[in-house]
Structure 1
Amino acid sequence: MRELRLSIVWSRRVLTEVCLASLIGLLIGVITTAYGLVFNYLSTAVETYLKNFTLVIALSTLLLLTSYVLVRSSSFRSGSVLEDFLLTYHFRGGYVSIKDLALILIASLATVSAGGSVGVAGIAVFTGYALAKYLVDRLGIIYDRKYYSIVGAVAGISAVFKAPLTGMAFSLEMPFKRGIEVSYLLPSLASALTAYVVSKLFFGGRELLEFIKPKTYALTYSLILHSIMIGFLAVLTVFMAYTLKYSLRFIKVKFLAKYPYTIPLVASSTIIFTFTTVPEVLGSGYSLIPKLLEIEEYGALISISLIKLILTLLILEFGGAGGIFVPLLISGAALGAAYGRLLNLPYVDLLMMAGIAGVFSAGNKVLLTSVLLAAESGGLIAVIPAGISAAIAYSLSVYTSI
């Protein structure tokens, strides 16, 4: 009888957690998807004014200055919302004010409107985390508040990526780097599925990587070998990005701190320069993803992979705000495509998925998430090359992350 009573008590708690997680998924799914639509609309609008060089100079300077002021007005000092999320979770007791959230959300819209290379997924994660924390505080839940905040973060990434399993895996890996937290599994899955259903049914839209649908190829030694090579290239890419990130931070603190309002001018100057060289990497990059398979010149793909990542890091360090998830995906996809085009291989689409998984895994320390993202986006055929590349990149990148 005692075991039965314990089972009933445990079942009630699990049911309560799942119901609350579903409610969080519903609310966060609506809010983050709506925000994502506005974000992507502004990113697309960038392509309109990019035709006018004078307008590019004026808007990029004004909007990045606005973003810089908004970020400095918050309690954060970094424009990378994923970094803000991790610092909040581990070192601030999980607390984030609604004012800070509002400032970061507006700053991110200003950044992408300026042509800044930032993504919306990290913003969705941070928004889901903060709003879920606010909700459980208002409901008077006194236990596991950070637990439900992670459930909110899961809903955010599930709604934006339209990949519920990826969102669930994210909750197990991302906040803990090389650790994993299985107790979040069931409520995270409930939250991710609810957010996905809400996003898909009420707002529509395609999955983020739906455009990369690998054809069916036989598993060969050649494919395995090339997937291994892409894993190594992903590690080198992430190490380069990591070194650049902290070099930029050093330059900002050492040389520009005395003249703070010169900082966003550096970012806007970079956008203006990029406009004259590789304008397709400006903005979030959603419209760029389906075009990568059509580019046959490997030099152009290498340029996109490197410049997209460099521009994102520079924007986030010098006044902009936003996420780094989507830029990482684009950089990885372009890396895999460039490798395939260089060697004239027939399965470029699979190598793109391997590049995505490798860079994403090394850059965020999320092995399982990277593989599931490839599986949900590219189907089971993408799992082997993506898994090989992700495992190598994850292992060799040690504790380096961006």
Structure 2
Amino acid sequence: MLIYNEKFFEFAKNLLLPIILGSIIGLAIFLLNNIYRFLNHISLLLISYNPILIFASTLIALLGGYLIVILLANNKKCGCGTELVIESYHFRNGFLSLKDTISKTLASVITISFGGSTGLEGPSLLLGGGISSFITRKLRLNQKDVKKLFLCGTTAGFSAIFKAPLTGILLALEIPYKRDIEAMVFVPASIASITAYFVSIATFGTETIFPSPMLLSIHTSILIHAVILGVLAALIALIFIKFLEGINIAIEKLTKKISMLYITILGGLILGIIGLFYPEVLGLGYETICKMTTTKLGNISLIMLISLLIFKIIATSITLNFGGSGRLFIPTLYIGGVLGLIYA
């Protein structure tokens, strides 16, 4: 009888719990996405009423996100939410407090909705990991199972927001593990990811975030161009990382002389100035990427494309270092897409 109980327990941990987690997290991501759409609609209404109100929007983006983290979160560090996921997995045995989960997710959504240049994958990983941590600890599972299901939760969150279960499995498993993939959790994570994906398409629909306007035939010249573009993308990525780190170092020195609150306000004003001239670089940038993939290249000037690339890097670096919350995945897709058009 004891053997059967143990087998059922293992079955529940590796199949039933991932399905339950995937379903709950999929619904949570649906709620997250709707909150983003609602707040983003308010932001767009403000700007459409008077373009100068873009400054109010960008100030809310950074100042709102910053104040939520400082006033409500246990972990007071703003910026890239993935660091908290990594820290929770490696140093806290998969523990992520519900307080941090809700406050930091909300901070990221406010940052993005009102013009911060970052992505929803950060709060999605946080929300998935936080929900998993809360449920598994309520069930009093052992440390190993809590950590394993924590990764299942992050995977489900990523899969649900992008409707990409396979990418979610590989990316969300690799990020917390830093240098390798946590192979032992692959099967339950796959189950959680696919479940969250089905919940996502049931609530959001099957439409992909980015359209595929045409099919390309693969031939030698395309492969050669792909290699060249890959090298250029690596160089741009290196510049982006160095600039991001440089801004971070400068802010750390500045906070010794000036309150972070004033720095956050300054960041909001700088984002507003950028947004006045290049509103396309603010926020998620989904619409801009979609327009680029469906617009004839002759309609977009080279100077415009180079400007979008440069100011997207600047806007993202300011967002994440001046008090905003989020992650780099979507901005890097944006930068890579613009680089591809420049090369073309």
TM-score by length of 2: 0.89
Alignment partner, residue 336 of structure 1: 340
Q: Check whether the contact 1:61–1:268 (CA below 8 A) recurs between aligned residues.
A: yes
Distance 2:160 2:100 in 1: 22
Alignment partner, residue 66 of structure 1: 64
Q: Check whether the contact 1:82–1:324 (CA below 8 A) recurs between aligned residues.
A: no
Query: 2:79 is paired with a residue of what secondary structure?
Result: coil
Distance 2:158 2:267 in 1: 27
Distance 2:107 2:208 in 1: 25
Alignment partner, residue 234 of structure 2: 235
Alignment partner, residue 170 of structure 1: 171
By how many angstroms is 1:102 displaced?
Answer: 1.8
Alignment RMSD, CA only? 2.4
Q: Check whether the contact 1:42–1:112 (CA below 8 A) recurs between aligned residues.
A: no
Identity percentage of aligned residues: 29
2:32 is matched by which residue type in structure 1? Y
Alignment partner, residue 136 of structure 1: 136
Alignment partner, residue 354 of structure 1: none
Q: Check whether the contact 1:171–1:188 (CA below 8 A) recurs between aligned residues.
A: no
**1:30-179 alignment, distance < 5 Å:** 30-51=27-48, 52-73=50-71, 74=73, 75-142=75-142, 143-179=144-180
1:122 is matched by which residue type in structure 2? G
| Cα distance change on mapping 1:229 and 1:177 into 2, 3 Å | farther
Distance 1:109 1:212 in 2: 27
Aligned residues: 334
By how many angstroms is 1:62 displaced?
Answer: 4.2
Alignment partner, residue 316 of structure 1: 320
Q: Check whether the contact 1:164–1:196 (CA below 8 A) recurs between aligned residues.
A: yes
Q: Check whether the contact 1:119–1:325 (CA below 8 A) recurs between aligned residues.
A: yes
| Cα distance change on mapping 1:191 and 1:265 into 2, 3 Å | same
| Cα distance change on mapping 1:193 and 1:102 into 2, 3 Å | same
| Cα distance change on mapping 1:161 and 1:244 into 2, 3 Å | same
Query: 1:144 is paired with a residue of what secondary structure?
Result: helix
2:39 is matched by which residue type in structure 1? L
Q: Check whether the contact 2:39–2:114 (CA below 8 A) recurs between aligned residues.
A: no
Q: Deviations over 1:296-318 (max 9, x none)?
A: 23332333233223311211110
With 54-63 and 111-120 compared, the bigger mean Cα shift is at 54-63
Q: Check whether the contact 1:172–1:180 (CA below 8 A) recurs between aligned residues.
A: yes
Q: Deviations over 1:140-173 (max 9, x none)?
A: 1114211101100011011110011111112432
| Cα distance change on mapping 1:110 and 1:273 into 2, 3 Å | same
Q: Which runs of 5+ in 2 are unaligned?
A: none
| Cα distance change on mapping 1:264 and 1:279 into 2, 3 Å | same
Correspondent of 1:298 among 294, 298, 302: 302
Q: Which runs of 5+ in 1 are unaligned?
A: 341-402
Q: Deviations over 1:160-198 (max 9, x none)?
A: 100111111124322223312221211111111110111
1:310 is matched by which residue type in structure 2? I
Greater RCO, CA 8 A, separation 6+: 2
| Cα distance change on mapping 1:184 and 1:214 into 2, 3 Å | farther
By how many angstroms is 1:200 displaced?
Answer: 0.7
Q: Deviations over 1:193-241 (max 9, x none)?
A: 11011111133262222x1344131x22211111111111121122112
Distance 2:256 2:109 in 1: 25
Alignment partner, residue 21 of structure 2: 24
Distance 1:176 1:80 in 2: 16
Distance 2:158 2:232 in 1: 26
